Structure formats: C-alpha cells, structure tokens
Amino acid sequence: MIFSNGRAFNCSFFGVSTVGNMHIVVNDSTVVEIADFFSRKENIEKIRYEDSGKEFEYTGFVELVGIAVQDDGIRVTLRQKYASEV
C-alpha cells in the first residue's frame, strides 16, 4: 500500500465497505506509528493499493475512525467524507 506522501505499509488485508469505510490490517508498524500517520488528513487523502500486479487508487478518506490490535496485525479503519461535508 502506498499513500500520497510516498509512505508504504505492508498489509495483510485491505477492503472498502459499502458505507464508505476503509479497513486495513497493517503488519509492519507499531500502534503509535500508525496512529500518528493515519490521524493526519494529508496522509490519507489519496491511497494507492497494489495487489498481484494490479493497482487501485482511493480518494476522499478524511478521518481515522479506529485502531485495533489483532492477531494478524493492527486494524485501521478510515472513513470517507459524508455527503454533508462538501
């Protein structure tokens, strides 16, 4: 996964829900590093995800919603802008 500022994280899971939340499981970082990085709006405005030679780009994510430590890594949840936040 590569973000707008060039920082990359190793992820074991990546998905976007129908309600506009992005869920990522990061494997190679600490909770403190993740909280610092993902809480900065400029770091999550444009997210590129690479998987099996394919690249996907996501925009419009504006807020860190949650961080949870799991057995397979640290789950990060981001949200997109609400329609009322134009």
What band does 86 get if pLDDT is binned at 50, 70 and 90? low
Matching residue, tokens 């996501």: 58
Whole-model pTM? 0.86
What band does 52 get if pLDDT is binned at 50, 70 and 90? confident
Are the C-beta atoms of residues 40 and 83 closer than 8 Å to each other?
Answer: no
Of 12, 5, 7, 14, nearest in space to 55 by CA:
14
Angle made by CA atoms 54, 60, 62, in degrees to the nearest 5: 120
